Structure 1
Amino acid sequence: MKTGWTPLAIIYAVLSLAGLLGTAVLNVWSVVTARNYVGDLIGSGPAVSSIGVDLLIVAASGCVLIVVESRRVGMKRAWLYIVLSAVTAFAFTFPLFLAMRERHLAAARQHSTPVTD
């Protein structure tokens, strides 16, 4: 019996783990060194602010995609990925959503019965 962990789902899961670990390390570093996280993001110059705006727009677009795509393919509780991104990182939750979507689609393909004449 297949588990739904297709190669694409595994790639997304690995990216999700990299996003979680990479952002967690940097966020903990910010807290430990008592940095003003938002102040550093906004006040460190136009290049950093540009990257921040760029990633914010990508994250907002990804949230829309999560809602629309989860409804399209019939995934439940997809809003949890958006909520979880607020307390972890979108670099973690978006690839995680993609991995779970791929597993959902693989399971649906496995359970579908081919039509024969």
Structure 2
Amino acid sequence: MTRYWTPRAVVFGIIAVAGLVGTWTYNAIAIIERTDFLGDWFNNGPAVGSLTTDLLVMAVAGGAFIVIEGRRLGMRHLWAYIVFSGLTAIAFTFPLFLMNRERHLERQRQHAAAHGHEAEPGASGQGSTVPA
């Protein structure tokens, strides 16, 4: 169970849980109170508009990073992070991706060590990767 869990993976996992709990606490309140969630999000003045734009641009950049980095490393099911970010929160799915990325890199490092290879640059997040 603890195989491939690095300290960085644990930190990203904790951040993912905090992102899920934090966002869905407010989502649940909005659902219970039957508020106009999207109306509140888009129509509450320039400050909210600024935060909305900030979040959307970060979500697009995060989604691009997930696809580009995930493909580079040979990770699977990248589409799930994108889809579930709309159903849960990017504050959950992006750190979840980072957690799984760390675990993937650690698996590559252990695979390389077990087969007598030095970890290639991709195993530390740079350059090409060792096949899993």
TM-score when normalising by structure 1: 0.94
Q: Which residue of 1 aligns with 2:125?
A: none
User: Is there any run of 5+ residues in structure 1 with no aligned partner, and where?
Assistant: none
Higher relative contact order (CA 8 A, sep 6+): 1
1:19-34 to structure 2, matched below 5 A, reads 19-34=19-34
In the alignment, what sits opposite 2:7?
7
Task: Name 2:94's counterpart in structure 1.
Answer: 94
* Partner in structure 2 of residue 114 of structure 1: 117
Superposition RMSD in Å: 1.3
- 2: CA distance between counterparts of 1:53 and 1:114? 46
CA distance in 2, matches of 1:74, 1:12: 20
The number of aligned residues is 115
Aligned mates of 2:56, 2:2 — CA distance in 1: 37
**Aligned partner of 1:105: which letter?**
L
State the TM-score, normalized to the length of structure 2. 0.84
- Give runs of aligned pairs for residues 29-40 of structure 1, distance below 5 A: 29-40=29-40
What is residue 53 of structure 1 aligned with on the other side?
A: 53
Following TM superposition, by how much is the alpha carbon of 1:43 offset from its aligned partner in structure 2, in angstroms?
A: 1.0
Runs of 4+ in 1 over 2 A off after TM superposition: none
User: Within 5 Å, which residues of 2 pair with 1:73-88?
Assistant: 73-88=73-88
- SS of equivalent residue, structure 1 residue 5: coil
1:40-99 deviation digits (Å, cap 9, x = unpaired): 011111001100110100000000000000000110111111011111000000000000
Q: How far off is 1:2 after superposition?
A: 5.9
Report the residue type matching 1:114 in the other structure. Answer: H
